Structures are given as C-alpha cells and as structure tokens.
Structure 1
Amino acid sequence: MSQISAAAVKELRDKTNLPMMDCKKALEEAAGDMEKAIQILRERNKNVAVKRGERETAEGRIATFIDSAAGVGAIVELRCESPMVIKSEHFMQLGSDLAKQVAVKNPGTIDELLSQPYVGDEKRTVKDRIEEAIGLIRENMKVARFARLTGQLGEYIHHDGTLGVLLQVEGNKADTTLLRDISTHIAALNPLYLNPENLPADVAEKEKALAKQQAEETSQGKPANVIEKIAEGRFRTWMEETVLTQQPIANQMKYGKKTVGDLAKGAGVVIKKFIRYKVGELT
C-alpha cells in the first residue's frame, strides 16, 4: 500500500469537507488517486444517507436568498434530527445553498429540486450536495418546503433560524431597511391575510357576525346603533390583529403608530405577497 501524505489527506478534506480519517481511508482504497477517492466518499455518503433516511427530522432551520439585481429570491425549510445541528456552519451553509438553488433554478417540486444540477457544482445534483452534508454531519436531513418570489424583495430570519419571512413589494425602489422591518413585523405578529381585499368574503362575514353577537351579548339594553358601533369596533380590532396592512407596525419606537399599510404607502410601494415559515408547521 502506498504511503498517503498528510497534504493529500488535507486536499481531499478541503474538497469534500468530510472527516480526515474518512479521507485518509478513501485515499488508501484509491491507492492515492484523488478523483477515485472523491467517488468513493460520494458513494459512501449515499450509503450513509440511505441508512439515515428513515430517521425523524423534527428540528430544522429556515434559510433565504435574495439576488436584488436579478429581482429574485427564495425561502427554504431544511430539516434535521437534533437542535445542535441547526447551529452547525455546514448545515447553515447547506440551507443558504438550497435557497440560492431555488432562486436561480426555479424548481417546481422537491423531487425536481433534488434532481437538478447543483448551482455550486453542476457535475453533481442537489441530492448529492445534501448527501454530502449528511455524510459529514451524520444526521438525516431533508427539504420540507420552499417558495420563490420575484421583484423587489425583503427578508428576515430569526436569530435561531427557526422562523423566516420573504416579502414581495412593487412600486418605487424601497429602502431595504424598511422591507426588513416589515418582514420582522410579519415574523413577530403572524398576520393571516395580506390586506382587506385579500380577505375571503366568507371569513369576513363570519367575523362580522361573531362581532355583532358578542356586542349584543355584552351590551344588552343599549340602542341598536350603539351595538352596531361596538360590533364595528370589535371587527376592526380583529382586522388589526389578523390583516397585515391594517396592523400597527411592531416597531413603534421607530415608526410611531402607523400601520404597515401606511408605511408602505408612504414609501410608494404596494405589498404584494409574503411567505412566513416556522420550522415544524408541516409534519
């Protein structure tokens, strides 16, 4: 058996990000042939992925990618097995890589995403890239969901990576700080609907009826016009809690008591869509 130099092991480690001992063993099997050693490691990582593929992935991280010049962005939920892994640089980088992949290549499904040539190395597929990370970290990983938006975009990722938002606006060129602040607001307040026009008619009617019922129960004996005003106030409060553009901005120290809709209008933009992901919402 030929002697494997430390330099060769380090070179293979740098190329694959896999443990030094794994790299040394692969080089020994390949009789020092670097390309053959890489193939051995890739095949071995696939075997690791198969073995770990049935393990539950209850933890995870949200990742985003925005290319402002191209006007495209994406958000991805990447799952793993344990809380410690979500803090791993390799796992965080994988999430970022996958978000970029979605933004650039626009896959329609998870299966299509996995089969695409990986943007970081088109000799490999995205599935290969994930299996490489599984082999390195020794945990099962999977893409739970993803979405892609185009146009002017903003984003926010919570400090622990478990919550993220991708925001789409159109109109004047918006300040990136404002877009981030609105994205942060969405993460914190979790609106269910974009604006009053986006609110389904059946939902609005149901909430108005509930508001009227509650007003009648708590205001017995009062004139009908007073009860009507109380019901309108209750419905307005519900809208402020549920509809993004009606919500007072979360950061009132910075913006005062303006609503999100007022802030967008003042900046000359219209909020078109938002996507809010929280790890574990999908089982």
Structure 2
Amino acid sequence: MISAEMVKTLREMTGAGMLECKKALEEAGGDMEKAKEILRIRGLAKADKKAGRETKEGIIYAYVSEDRKRGVLIELNCETDFVAKNEHFVELALNIAKHIASIPENKDRAGTGEDITSQAYAQDTNISVGDLIKSAIAKIGENIQLRRFARFDTEGFVHAYVHGIGKVGVLIDYFVPSLNDQTLRVVQDVALQIAAMKPEFVSIESVDPEALERERRILTEQARQEGKPENIIEKVVEGRLKKFYQEKVLLEQAFIKEEKKTVGQYIKESQTGVEIKRFVRFEVGGA
C-alpha cells in the first residue's frame, strides 16, 4: 500500500510531481530508493527532449573564494524569467560556479558551457556537470544551458558584483597595497561603473591593437566621406579617437557618481592605490 506520506517524502526528495511520485512508488513496490531511480531515469529522458528548446532568460552568477584570490562569473540560461528566480535554479548556478572555481584545469580560463559540462562534477565525481544540469532540467521542467563562464586567479584580489536580480554581473582582478573598507568601496564603485557603462578595456594602453586599427580606419573613411581635406584627416581622426576612448576605456570614462571626473581620476584621488588589472562583464543574452 502506497501511503500519502510516502508520496510526500519522495516528492520532497526529488522535486517531482505528486502523481509521478505515486506511479514510481507503485512501480517500485514501495521501495523508496528504486522509486528515486525510476524518477531520475524518466526525468533525464524528459530532459533530453527539452534540450533543444530555446533559452533566452537566466541569471549571471558570481562566486569568489574566501581569500579573494579566485573568482568565477557564469551565465546560466533557462526558458522563462519565472524559472530564473527559482531557488533550485539559483542553487544550480552556485554549484556550477563552485565547481568551476575548484577544478585546477579551469584556472584563469574563460569559455562556453561545452568546455565544462563533460567534467566530472567536483562534489560528486560519479556524475558530470552535464548530468547535474540534466537532473535540474528534470526537476525544474525547462531547458537549462550553461552559456559561458570566466575564472580569474590572481596574486592580487578578485571582486564580484551582480546587479539586481542577476541580469548583469562583473568580475574584477585588481591590486591594492592594503585591503580595507575604503579600498573595497572604491572597487565596488568601479564594478558599478563597469556594469552600467559597458567599457571594453581597462586603459588606453590595453586597447586591442586590432580594435584600435579598425576604429581608426572607420573614422578615417568617415572623415573622407564628409569631405575633410586630406591634410587634416589625421588630426580629425585623433580627436574622434578620444571619444572612442571615453566610451570604451574604463579609466577614461566619465565616473557615473561624479561626471566631471574620469574613473582614473576618481581612483587616483581616492589615494587607495587601487590598480585595475582586468575585468569581465556578462549580461544575460549579451555578446
């Protein structure tokens, strides 16, 4: 006889529906472990069917080690905004981020979910990260995909910031002579800047040469099409490149809390010695 209490217990253990739990228990002859196995097999089969469905929603999730020497940022996608707020989905994001942070082969690495899903799951090496995601799909009922990740390992410190309900996240690698409340406030302000203003480079010196050359070609051609004389085109281009730097380079951007200053000036005037080494910014569905 399958009691309501047994069905309730199995549901709490697996997250499956009441009717599914009852059927599994009946099939298993009341054996709880066998019923769990039946549900898992059925769930994974359903998960495979859901795997082709589009995932446009999701969250950005960040994890930083206690010593602030290692940090991970991930984008985990699902089908609906409702599921993006689901506690099981958020827990999955945490477990995946912790896994990425704990595996040595992921050190200072960035990539897509395909680079991670075949790895043995750090907390249970009998399954892969892909299996972990499939189990979540079975429990939650939507397709779930790990879209991308980035991990920083540093001799300095790592800081993470996730905006609001997890639509935008930032991971920063920085150096500072002394870690204290003031330096953390400055780094948090920089993280807010990156989240809001979408810079692509830390400093003018760090601008990708190919990106700079491409921008220079575009600006040169624009100036020619505007009828600017050849002898002044170079000066026009250099002037317009300043606007490019102000838009794309973090330290050259107007500081969002005090627009008369650049971010670089704000950091310098803070006298904290904060030096931004690198950063990554993820936005759900972004490039």
TM class by shorter chain equals 0.7 to 0.9
Q: Of 93, 98, 101, which aligns to 1:100?
A: 98
Aligned CA RMSD, in angstroms, stands at 3.1
**Residue 197 (structure 1) aligns with:** 205
Check whether the contact 1:211–1:232 (CA below 8 A) recurs between aligned residues.
no
Aligned partner letter, 2:74:
V
1:15 partner SS: helix
**Residue 31 (structure 2) aligns with:** 33
Q: Which runs of 5+ in 2 are unaligned?
A: 107-111
1:236 and 2:242 are equivalent in the alignment: yes
**Residue 161 (structure 2) aligns with:** 156
Deviations 1:15-35 (A, max 9, x none): 323333333332222222222
Check whether the contact 1:169–1:272 (CA below 8 A) recurs between aligned residues.
yes
Q: Of 173, 184, 203, which aligns to 2:192?
A: 184
Deviation at 1:154?
1.5
Deviation at 1:241?
1.2
1:68 partner SS: coil
Check whether the contact 2:118–2:129 (CA below 8 A) recurs between aligned residues.
yes
Q: What CA distance in whole angstroms lies between the structure 2 residues aligned with 1:45 and 1:173?
A: 51
Aligned partner letter, 1:118:
Y
Distance 1:22 1:121, change over 3 A: farther
Q: TM-score normalized by structure 1?
A: 0.81
Q: Of 120, 126, 130, which aligns to 1:127?
A: 130
Q: Of 167, 170, 178, which aligns to 1:165?
A: 170
Q: What CA distance in whole angstroms lies between the structure 2 residues aligned with 1:89 and 1:237?
A: 43
**Residue 76 (structure 1) aligns with:** 74
Query: Percent identity among equivalent residues?
Result: 37
Q: What CA distance in whole angstroms lies between the structure 2 residues aligned with 1:9 and 1:173?
A: 56
Q: Which runs of 5+ in 1 are unaligned?
A: none
Match runs of 1:234-273 below 5 Å: 234-252=240-258, 257-265=260-268, 266-273=271-278
Check whether the contact 1:101–1:118 (CA below 8 A) recurs between aligned residues.
yes
1:84 partner SS: helix
* Number of aligned residue pairs: 272
Deviations 1:228-283 (A, max 9, x none): 5x76554323211110111122222xxx744323344432122111111122235x
Check whether the contact 1:153–1:179 (CA below 8 A) recurs between aligned residues.
no
